[in-house]
Amino acid sequence: MSDITISSLARISREALAEQLLATPISQTTTPNPSSSTSTTPTGTSSSTCAQSPPGSSTTPAPSIAIVDVRDGDHIGGHIRGSTWVPSSELDFRTPQLVRDLQDKDVVVFHCALSQQRGPSAALRYLREKRRLDGEGSVSISGGVVKEGFEKVDGEGKEGLAEGEGKGKKKVQKVLVLEGGFTKWQEAYGSDERLTEGWQKDIWEWGN
């Protein structure tokens, strides 16, 4: 497990994530598995997810994408539509269940306010737990920054999510950290109701 470090984690730009979310038709954004639905929490405890979006007016993550928001008391001023809120203070006991709930996802994106400490640490914890539960080949940990969709990784990472998964091969889950966290995300997409829910402009203006 020692080969997994924060520096090993791949990151995704806000533009690349937004592109993927917007590219998914509304009719294809409903996850059939109740445990990973955007209308429920992973364990049904104190954390929450955003509500289902109004028909025809917004989008939610594709069934293959999960977004995990690990902000704590600073979980205010909005959130990425469809994200699951798991406070970092609860990760010690929530992570094993989170791994099970998200096992069918191709991509799991973690973030906090700035994605400098809590977001990367949560992704690292998740990766290690998934390896423990599902085996060494269950996750992709290449570094770099995904800037265009999920198929290109700059830096050391060279593997795409849409390639190299031939028939009969074990499904590999990509774990990413959102660059700049929700703070940077809301600067670009806070007012876009297709991508962000509950955004409060005055909170972010007051904080600047």
Q: Which residues pair with 110 in a beta bridge?
A: 68, 177
- Of 54, 59, 28, nearest to 192 by C-alpha is 59
Name the residues annotated as catalytic. Answer: 112
What sign for the dihedral angle of Cα 38, 101, 108, 123? positive
Angstrom distance (rounded) from CA 40 to CA 46: 11
Angstrom distance (rounded) from CA 119 to CA 93: 16
Angstrom distance (rounded) from CA 125 to CA 202: 34
